[in-house]
Chain A
Amino acid sequence: MIGDRAGAQGRTRLRASEVRISYWQHRAEEPFVAVDGVSLEVIEGEFVSIVGPSGCGKTTFLNAVDGLIPISGGSLELDGRPVRGPGRDRAMVFQQPSLLPWRSVLRNITYGLELEGRRSRAEIKEAGLRYLSLVGLDGFANVYPGQLSGGMQQRVNLARALATDPEMLLLDEPFASLDAQTREFMQLELLRIWRQSRKTALFITHDIKEAIYLADRVVVFTARPGRVKEVVPVPLPRPRELRVKRDPRFIEIEDRVWNCIEQEAAAAMAGGRSA
């Protein structure tokens, strides 16, 4: 059986073509080009992972999709409309939990909903409790983030993004700072939640196994300036258990991604030396 979404012909949610993103540097004549020529399409309900060497522009690209930074070339469209700024159709799960330390867990989860200001207080609270439960943090509603472990903080971070009910989830290495066991558990949880909510997901990670385990397709970026080097489909059946990571087909895909990355890592190192 083929992965149930890999070949799905849904609507195109995100269309990036030849996206170029540059930073204006202080006192520099030339802008610093972080991403140059990224072309990528993401279908509705699809889970896409992005991997690539550190500093290749993954976060930059994701920030542009979220509308936090502008692009300086190419085009970036969501549902056929160019991205102009942050919007309710997207929500970001940041690499750092970025929780408001003076708000309780529940009020962190409802933060996005409160900013929207469309629903009553009672409705917001009810939604908050629902997502609290979804990420397995029942009973932690009135605890402050500082009292939680890293893994729990990341679950709050995830719940906060889910609570606004976005069509697209943007995740920037959300599990990178977690220990190995917690990370695997969070991967399992994320897949469970994603299956239930059927959201489109764009997931950045450092970890090749994680990228493959979660995704319908793995996008490998080149060294900076980032471009899409290769797109590797993951035709593994879902729902996936953690066991699948030892499946020969999984390992074959892993080898393929690993080879791509090794070339780029070498290029990045060479670039670093000459720079």
Chain B
Amino acid sequence: MSPSDRPGVGERPGGGWRQAYGPGALPRSFLAKRGQAASTVAERARLQGLARHQGLLVGLAAVVVVIAVWQLVTSLHVVAPIVLPGPSAIAVGLYQYATSPDFPIDLATSGEELAIGFGLAIVIGLPAGILMGWYRLVFQVFDPFVSFFYSTPRIALVPLLIIWFGIGIWSKVAVIYLGAFFPIAINTLVGVRSLDPDLLRCARSFGATDLQLFRTIALPGAVPFILTGLRLGVGHALIGVVVGELVAAQHGVGYEMNIFGTTYQMAKMFAALFIIAVAGAVLQTAFQRLEHRFDAWRVSAGGRR
């Protein structure tokens, strides 16, 4: 969709000074209006619904096909189970792992690490991003550090963090926090900074104070950026859980996955991987939902972005 097709963003009719004043100048926005009427709101909603369902069906079919081929390949012993266990073997492994006494402890440990690490990243990352976005001085002070840490592969710090925080949950919390903090803080910072100049001028014209400007223009404008930051952050947090536990831990799904791998219990290893993947998918979907909710006004503004 070109910008001029959207309602209300129609540009002034083009052409020079003379043409705009001439009697025959036909406003282009008048023409744009008509094309737009062709796709009614109901029509658009119906097409979008159809597309969504179609996506789901195609995706489901693809998954079924892949699982079937995978099962076939392993049943015919084309590859050894030690290299790649089949789906049915993994299902059995999943059942065994899920009913073992370790499982609830692992789940609780990984869940706790994730909750604390990601929670801290939000509680510290959001205000940090806001302050850096709003106050130039704060940005200038912290920018070198943020840039440095953001461009370093933070995974490399895991051994160091384990020395500092031990092999209990706190080294993992630190890894997760470092993973999630940067996407949250940086997206928030960018969101707060990206002020729409038209809205800024309007607020100033109505005599807005700096605080009002922040509250009514900068912060609401930053919400989509912040939500994107949270969604990216949760992905990084999950990587942190697995990597942190792989290196050194006592409990946790990632830790168990490592044990299963090194003791050649491949079906169980894949089962643990599956659990982590499902957790990731669930969290991503939850944050996507949240984004759509907050974007209600944006979605309704004539089409998707």
Task: Output the least CB separation between B233 and chain A (Å).
Answer: 22
Given contacts A100-B216, A179-B27, contact A94 B297 (CB under 8 A): no
Is B12's CB under 8 angstroms from A96's CB?
no
Is A115's CB under 8 angstroms from B20's CB?
no
Name the one of A100, A146, A178, A258 contacting B27, with C-beta atoms under 8 angstroms: A178
Is A100's CB under 8 angstroms from B7's CB?
no
Name the one of B201, B296, B302 contacting A98, with C-beta atoms under 8 angstroms: B201
Given contacts A150-B10, A268-B17, contact A116 B207 (CB under 8 A): yes
If over half of B's interface residues share one DSSP class (helix, strand or loop), that class is named, otherwise mixed; here it is: helix
Task: Output the least CB separation between B161 and chain A (Å).
Answer: 39
What are the nearest 3 A-B pairs in CB distance?
A: A146-B301, A179-B30, A144-B297
Is B217's CB under 8 angstroms from A100's CB?
yes
CA distance A101 to B202 in the complex (A): 13
Is B198's CB under 8 angstroms from A179's CB?
no
Is A115's CB under 8 angstroms from B217's CB?
no
Name the one of A54, A111, A144, A183 contacting B300, with C-beta atoms under 8 angstroms: A144
Number of interface residues of A (CB under 8 A): 48
Least CB separation from B294: chain A residue:
A102
Name 14 extra pairs, CB < 8 A, besides A101-B298, A111-B216, A115-B206.
Answer: A68-B205, A92-B205, A94-B201, A98-B202, A102-B223, A111-B206, A114-B216, A115-B216, A145-B297, A148-B8, A150-B29, A177-B10, A179-B27, A208-B21
Name the one of A87, A152, A178 contacting B207, with C-beta atoms under 8 angstroms: A87
Provide the residues of chain A in CB contact with B297, threshold 8 Å. Answer: 101-102, 144-146
Is A100's CB under 8 angstroms from B199's CB?
yes
If over half of A's interface residues share one DSSP class (helix, strand or loop), that class is named, otherwise mixed; here it is: loop
Residue A228 interfacial (CB < 8 Å):
no
Is B205's CB under 8 angstroms from A102's CB?
no
Provide the residues of chain B in CB contact with A199, threshold 8 Å. Answer: none
Task: Output the least CB separation between B51 and chain A (Å).
Answer: 21
Name the one of A86, A153, A173, A183 contacting B206, with C-beta atoms under 8 angstroms: A86
Residue B11 interfacial (CB < 8 Å):
yes
Residue B204 interfacial (CB < 8 Å):
yes
CA distance A20 to B53 in the complex (A): 62
Least CB separation from B217: chain A residue:
A100
Contact indicator per residue, chain A 32-57, by CB within 8 Å of chain B (1) or not (0): 00000000000000000000011000
Residue B92 interfacial (CB < 8 Å):
no
Residue B155 interfacial (CB < 8 Å):
no
Residue B208 interfacial (CB < 8 Å):
yes
Residue B250 interfacial (CB < 8 Å):
no
Residue B248 interfacial (CB < 8 Å):
no
Is B27's CB under 8 angstroms from A149's CB?
no
CA distance A258 to B17 in the complex (A): 12
Given contacts A153-B8, A261-B21, contact A115 B298 (CB under 8 A): no
Is B17's CB under 8 angstroms from A53's CB?
yes
Provide the residues of chain A in CB contact with B208, threshold 8 Å. Answer: 115
A–B pairs, 16, beta carbons within 8 Å: A92-B205, A94-B198, A102-B221, A111-B206, A111-B216, A115-B206, A115-B208, A144-B296, A145-B8, A146-B6, A149-B8, A152-B8, A173-B12, A176-B12, A180-B30, A183-B27
